[in-house]
Structure 1
Amino acid sequence: MSELKSTEPSLETADTLLARADTLCRAERFDEAEELCRTVLDAEPGNAAAIHLHGIVAYRRGDYDLAVERLMDAITRAPRPDYYFTLGNVMATNNRPAAAAECFSLATQLQPDYADAYNNLGTAQRALKQYHDAVQSFCKVLELQPQNGRAYNNLANALLELNELPAALEAWAIAHQLAPDYPEPLSNRLFALHYENQMSPEQYLADARYFGDLVGRAAQPFRSWLVTTTPRTDRPLRVGIVSGDLRRHPVGYFLASVVGALDKQRIELFGYPTRMNEDELTESIKPHFSQWQSIATMSDIAAAQQVRGDQIDILIDASGHTTSNRLSLFAWKPAPIQVSWPGYFASTGLATMDYVLGDPHVLPEGEEAHFVEKPWRLPDSYLCFTPPQEAPEVGPLPMTKNGFITFGYFGRLTKVTDSVIAAWAEILRRVPGAQLFIKSAQLDFEDVRDMTVARFAAQGIGADRLLLEGFSGRDLYLDAYNRVDVTLSPFPYPSGTTAAESLWMGVPVLCRKGDRFSSHIAESILHTAGLGDAWIANDQQDYIGKAVALASDASRLAVLRASLRAQTLASPLCDAPRFARNLESALHAMWDDYIAKRRLTKREA
């Protein structure tokens, strides 16, 4: 590349300047990096490498429109595979997975051994729910780079979507062996373990602590914060929420009515979304936040400095070990109080996470030892369901017209373990003519449908007893409950959001009592909605017995169906103002405890 024409006494080549700019960009010194890019472009306006790097700087700063403009310009001048790769990353971050997939595909066509492009192509395909294609892309990465731990992690994620839990667990184990300092496989595995709960709470906690230690070693926790040692009376508590699910997602549905009901004189909300995809639910909750700052492209230290600079009093993790979590940020302890709620249902394993927010049903006395965090119990429920604004009306009891009962389950097939299949098959055997309606997005894949039919066939239940349906939009999904008489919650990982939606649609839910937070979720929802122990079985035989008895009690089910929506709406499960007062009281009590401990420490010093 030619030298820059300049009157400056010290001449540097464009390559040298861009190398410096790249280093500055990686160090998040974006102003300086951009200045060097512009220096090159002032001398060589058509320098594709400088235009490309300028696009990267814009991307890292969150200016996606400028990033796309610059990257497209660079590609027009020099259609290089790495330029397509960068543009694909920008598209993926900006929630444009189809465009991202096209970019990564073009990169692999130009460079057939481009392993990183295949890896990101698989991630984009997974976002598009093209799970089989994603598996093939990740396998291509491993063909090129057999020791690529990140590819094994991504492969496991795609396998889980295809209901291949054992294979996913094996791939995560390999990922950790190959990349022991990479925390994501450990986090993904911790979440997936809840589908079967074959691990004791004690062993789960040991594994969660291992994860916490790993991310803790990479962090430099803050030891002091810009806070006073007085009760929060001069201004509201500043409460930050970190989540990738502030959108149409169970977390979004459970937060939507709460954020609007909080007293702004007591709680000031700050949103820290961990990914860029937003929708109409996002837009509806944003006005209730004083500040909304994406940390999707921020490093942990930059995000921690953002939180600390905002003088957040209490930072809430609303993801746990679910997708797009930023638990590694919490290891930096950017806020004096950190809380896990409502997106997870077990210990995060982080010593820097102070509390887990629950209720007496999901956090019963005697199970505190399951957590690194200190349990804090809200008086009614740890969840507040936001009723759909335009939900279908509750229809008549289907069995009255059909002459037989239809049991239903709407949710992830991964929760349907062999024990669940055995229990549901026994119910169908003992109730001649009964149907089982399973609705899951995973059933959109023919091999998953065939596998589901085969699993029931192995228990002596033919396909004629099953109604299998795939994904629907939310209105059609809710209306499908009008074809169900009783919802069967799986175990040990029970229904959560779907249980609340079922009750809202007039369909009672039968669940089993659990032995840890994750397996208590349906119990909490049923108690809060006023159904209580009558719909909570003690064990598998009790679960089967209760289901069989319901098949001969149409009158009871019809009466309950006619009143259940009103009962649910009137219960604490849907009482956002009541829940908001409870949440405010809990957060202020946490703050008061923190202040009391600081005062004690100062006196002792």
Structure 2
Amino acid sequence: MQAPADRDTHTNVDVPTDGPAHAHAPLPAFDAAVTLQAAFAHHQAGRMGEAADLYKQILRHDETHADALHFLGVLACDVGSLPAGLDLIEKSIQLHPNAIYLNNLGNMRGRARDLQGAIDAYRAALSLAPDYVDALSNLGYALRETGDSLAAIRCCKQAVRLKPEHAQAWINLGNALLDLGSDEEALDSYIKALALNPNDASAHNNVGNIQEKYGRAASAAVSYQRALALEPHRASLHNNLGNVLRDQGQLDRATASYRQAVALDPGFAQAHSNLLLLLNTRPDVSLSEQFDEARKFGERQTAKAQRFEQAANASEADKRLRIGFVSGDLNSHPVGFFLESVLGHLDRARVELVAYATRKRDDAVSQRLLPQFGAWHDISRLDDATCARRIRDDAIDILVDLSGHTNHNRLPVFAWKPAPVQATWLGYFATTGLASIDYVIADRHVLPLDEASQFVEAPWHLPDSYLCFTPPPFDIAVGPLPASANGAITFGCFNHLVKLNDAVVALWSHVLDAVPGSRLLLKTRQLDDPAVQQATLERFAAHGIDGARLVLEGQSPRAELLAAYNRVDIALDPFPYAGGTTSVEALWMGVPVLTRRGERFLSHVGESIVNTAGLHDWIASDDADYIARAVRFSAHRDELATLRSTLRERLLGSPLCDAPRFARHLEDAFHGMWARHVACHHANDGHPAQPDRHSSGDARHAAERNFA
């Protein structure tokens, strides 16, 4: 749901406080050593101009003064002049090789993202001083950045053995342990760092990361607030606090935290994505405000990018297309579930698939997805520029974003326009705000033509549904109607708790009031936290609903999650943020979904699903109709029982599960987009093609359309 929280690490720059690394004989009427000490004092206090003047004064008297050269180079790097600074540092090492200089060289190379160069410098420092703890800790940091967390752990453990009071080494050790799933050891490392330095905001932040990972949102919020008390102007901390406030249902405070993060760092893509995701779920935020905020995101990311331009050759109009999919969810995730069966039916004579995974996650689904791609690239550690160049060099024809503003997205890469045609599909439900993304792949239920103005992307409609569900690889029988055994209706919702805004809680409370004896089963990860459970009970109690009528459960493995639907008679769809995977899984388990008609893509998802499954009567027009239908369906239990026994078969026979049919439509869509691109390019005398933002593409009729 959210963009990933940052895990803080840093390397230490050594500025001596007890004299220069070597001493020069004082020049007549000038004492270099005294001047150098004064320069160090200014440098450490952040008075960079004064420090630079003194370093230069020394160099005017002795241009080979290694300390002055070195720390003037460090200062240049500190103020953003990395190439010039590195040049000065390297000259100082030629004059006077020593471990401090080499350690600082490693730090500055690291800032320049020359990780191998940094590692080489740290190792050179350790060859001169094997017990140099700062260099060991920094080497561990750099090794982890390259993905070698095991080697990083070895370095950091050696550092803390030599100097147990080295707080930063404990933090770097914790980060490397966390990479390998050793969460308890990582937490222990962070706690040791905090015992040494309670005022280390990074350690508080990292403790919060682990607490958040295990669903302890309230505790994580406390950790992030402690970090913010120490560093109130750090945007990443406001973003992380926003994540856990959102998970606790404190939407106003979460929104404020995300806004503060973006205000402090307007180019902070993760925080801006989190803000957009949250604004789209709030019924009190207007469509125009959501759209304007998305446009701001797009403009800011475009301003940071260096857009590529690719030519299109008319002879390439019917070629086999290279399609790139960018996602962090090519695994056991809704995106993976909806993608899996489709990929297996795509015609490899028409399309070649390339995966760009934005995070490492290996599971049974990813192992099944992997063979479907001609190439699979891990881009999790690539910066946006490097990633964009990689995609361009791979000659991708159509690049598809599968995340939108959800977790692990790489939307800033799309601002570079690394592929001639770009589209967004499957993982999101609103505009990305990026004009560089040409199309949003949708259907006419989720994106009617009269709502196309809500998107900067041009809509491309698939004929049936924009979703195709992959049935689970295990069989769980549909049980009898629960109400037949317990005498009362059980409503259920297994969606993320952020979807249960105040309007949803109020409406569902009315439903419970209107259906005597009914209960509501809520099951989601956020309810693993007892504090969140209590807050949820209190939200319903404010509408007169006794806690005994609520069943609150946390997350479960997927098989257990699906089996839990055998305790649900009717699934309630939240609004405006409707369910997606949860709704289709409910149908697969024989549980009909009562949804509510909306006014935008986000709130049309439920309509698209139940329409495609042939359950048109399960779409309510408004709140009153929602309650009336809940009451009517609850009263006709024989009909509910019959529907339950046939619903899986109906779902499997619908376009929602017809992977071969869907694959043909998707191939046609890609070739239609490409044909339009080639035609537009040549119609514009070789200038880049722009899709018609006011017309809808359609896989069935693309060849018949007039190109924009």
2:604 corresponds to 1:520: yes
Of residues 111, 132, 135, the one that matches 2:197 is 111
Match of 1:553 in 2: 636
Question: Among 52, 57, 62, which residue is 2:142 paired with?
Answer: 57
Match for 1:437: what amino acid?
Answer: L
Matched, 1:17 2:17: no
Matched, 1:132 2:215: no
Question: Greater CA deviation, 116-125 or 501-510?
Answer: 116-125
* CA radius of gyration, larger in: 2
Aligned residue in 2 for 1:200: 286
Alpha-carbon offset, residue 228 of structure 1: 4.6
1:502 corresponds, among 586, 590, 594, to 586
Q: Distance in 1 between matches of 2:392 and 2:114?
A: 19
Q: Which moved more, 1:195-204 or 1:157-166?
A: 195-204
CA apart distance, 1:178: 3.3
**Alignment correspondent of 2:543:** 459
* Contact kept? 2:215, 2:529, Cα under 8 Å: no
Secondary structure of the 1:239 match is strand
Partner residue of 2:481?
397
Offset of residue 214 of structure 1: 1.6
Residue 457 and residue 132 in structure 1: after superposition, are their counterparts in 2 closer, same or farther (change >3 A)? closer
2:387 aligned with 1:303: yes
Task: Provide the C-alpha distance between the structure 2 equivalents of 1:547 and 1:526, rounded to a whole number of angstroms.
Answer: 15
C-alpha distance in structure 2 between counterparts of 1:93 and 1:600, whole Å: 51
What do residues 437-487 of structure 1 show as CA deviations (whole Å, max 9, x unaligned)?
A: 222222222332223222323323222332222222222211111111111
Determine which of 380, 392, 398 is the counterpart of 2:464: 380
Deviates more, 1:422-431 or 1:138-147: 422-431
Q: What one-letter code is carried by the residue in structure 1 that aligns with 2:683? A: L
Distance in 1 separating the partners of 2:649 and 2:398: 35
Instruction: Please say if 1:321 is aligned against 2:405.
Output: yes
Post-superposition CA distance 1:186-219 (Å, at most 9, x none)? 2211101222232222221111001111222222
**Matched position secondary structure for 2:672:** helix
Deviation of 1:529 after TM superposition, in Å, equals 1.6
Q: Does 1:591 align with 2:677?
A: no
Is it true that 1:334 corresponds to 2:425 in the alignment? no
Partner of 1:289: 373
Indicate conservation of the 8 Å contact 2:507/2:623, yes or no. yes
2:620 corresponds to 1:534: no
Tell me, yes or no, if the aligned pair for 2:577 and 2:602 is still in contact at 8 Å: yes
How far apart are the structure 1 equivalents of 2:179 and 2:223? Answer: 19
Q: Paired residue for 1:251?
A: 335
Listed as ranges, the gaps of 5+ residues in structure 2 are 1-15, 23-92, 689-708
Moved more, 82-91 or 309-318: 82-91
Give per-residue Cα distances to partners, 1:566-588, cap 9 Å, x unaligned: 11112111122221221111112
How far apart, CA to CA, are the structure 1 residues paired with 2:512 and 2:460?
41
Letter in 1 for 2:422: Q
Aligned to 1:210: 296
For the 8 Å contact 2:215–2:528, the answer to whether it is kept is no
- Report the CA distance between 1:490 and its aligned residue: 1.2
Q: Which residue of 1 aligns with 2:364?
A: 280
CA change 1:465–1:321 in 2 (3 A) is same
**Taking structure 1 as reference, are residues 481 and 103 closer, same or farther at Cα in structure 2, changes over 3 Å only?**
same
Evaluate the alpha carbon distance shift between residue 434 and residue 220 of structure 1 in structure 2; reply closer, same or farther with a 3 A threshold.
Answer: same
- In structure 2, relative to structure 1, the CA distance for the partners of 1:512 and 1:275 (3 Å cut) is same
Query: What amino acid sits opposite 1:424 in the alignment?
Result: W
Verify: 1:426 aligned to 2:510, yes or no.
Answer: yes
Whole-Å separation in 2 of the counterparts to 1:162 and 1:415:
11
Distance in structure 2 (CA, Å) of the matches to 1:67 and 1:149: 27
Structure 2 residue 260 is the aligned partner of structure 1 residue 174: yes
CA distance in 2, matches of 1:168, 1:216: 26
Q: How many Å separate the matches in 1 of 2:187 and 2:687?
A: 59
Opposite residue 401 of structure 2, the aligned amino acid is: D
Which of the residues 345, 359, 365 maps onto 2:429? 345
Is 1:131–1:161's contact at 8 Å kept on the other side of the alignment? yes
Q: How many residue pairs were aligned?
A: 599
Matching residue of 1:573? 656
Whole-Å separation in 1 of the counterparts to 2:102 and 2:258: 41
1:543-599 Cα shifts (integer Å, max 9, x gaps): 111111112211211111111111111211112222122111111211111111222
Offset of residue 370 of structure 1? 0.2
Cα drift, residue 233 of structure 1? 5.0
Q: Is the 8 A contact 1:270 1:289 kept in 2?
A: yes
Residues 382-433 of structure 1: CA deviation (Å, up to 9, x unaligned): 1111111114200111122222222222222222222222222222222222
Please say which of residues 579-588 and 43-52 is displaced more in the overlay.
43-52
The equivalent position to 2:125 in structure 1, one of 30, 40, 56, is 40
Deviations 1:245-288 (A, max 9, x none): 22222112112222222222222222222222332222221122
* Structure 1 pair 97–238 and aligned structure 2 pair: CA distance change class (3 A): farther
Change (3 A) 1:316 1:72: farther
Change (3 A) 1:469 1:603: closer
Q: Which stretch of the first structure deviates more once superposed, 159-168 or 193-202?
A: 193-202
What SS class does the counterpart of residue 270 from structure 1 fall into? Answer: strand
1:61 partner amino acid? T
Please, which of 294, 304, 316 is the counterpart of residue 231 of structure 1? 316
Q: Deviations over 1:477-530 (max 9, x none)?
A: 111111111111111111111100000000111101110000001111111222
Counterparts in 2 of 1:277 and 1:133: CA distance versus 1, 3 Å: farther
1:123 paired with 2:209, answer: yes
Q: Give SS of 1:230's match.
A: helix
Residue 69 to residue 585, structure 1, CA distance change in 2 (3 Å): farther
> What is the identity, as a one-letter code, of the residue corresponding to 2:202?
D
Question: 1:99 Cα shift?
Answer: 4.2
Residues in 2 aligned to 1:91 and 1:353: alpha-carbon distance in whole angstroms:
38
The DSSP-based 3-state class of the residue aligned with 1:602 is coil
Partner of 1:413: 497
Contact preservation (8 Å) 1:231, 1:591: no
AA at the equivalent of 1:373: E
The one-letter amino acid of 1:364's match is P
Residue 305 of structure 1 contacts residue 334 of structure 1 at CA under 8 Å; is this kept in 2? yes
Tell me the alpha carbon deviations over residues 26-68 of structure 1, each in whole angstroms, 9 at most, x when there is no partner. Answer: 3333443344344334444444444444433333333333333
Deviation larger for 556-565 or 252-261: 252-261
1: CA distance, partners of 2:582 / 2:401? 22
Range with greater deviation from structure 2 (248-257 or 445-454): 445-454
Offset of 1:92 from its aligned partner?
Answer: 4.1
State, as a whole percentage, how many aligned pairs show the same letter: 43
Paired position in structure 2 for 1:144: 230
Asked whether the 8 Å contact 2:217–2:529 carries over to 1, the reply is no
1:443 to 2:539 alignment:
no
Q: Are 1:73 and 2:158 counterparts?
A: yes
* Secondary structure in 1 matching 2:449: coil
Instruction: Note if contact 2:99-2:126 (Cα within 8 Å) is conserved in structure 1.
Output: no
What residue is the counterpart of 2:188 in the other structure?
A: 102
SS at 2:625's partner residue?
helix
* Structure-1 separation of matches of 2:139 and 2:443: 50
TM-score scaled to structure 2, two decimals? 0.80
Structure 2 CA distance, aligned partners of 1:440 and 1:585?
37
Corresponding residue SS for 1:366: helix
> CA 1:13 to 1:338, structure 2 compared with 1: closer, same or farther past 3 Å?
same
**Matched residue, 2:31:** none
> Aligned-pair distance for 1:542?
1.0
Structure 1: runs of 5 or more not aligned: none
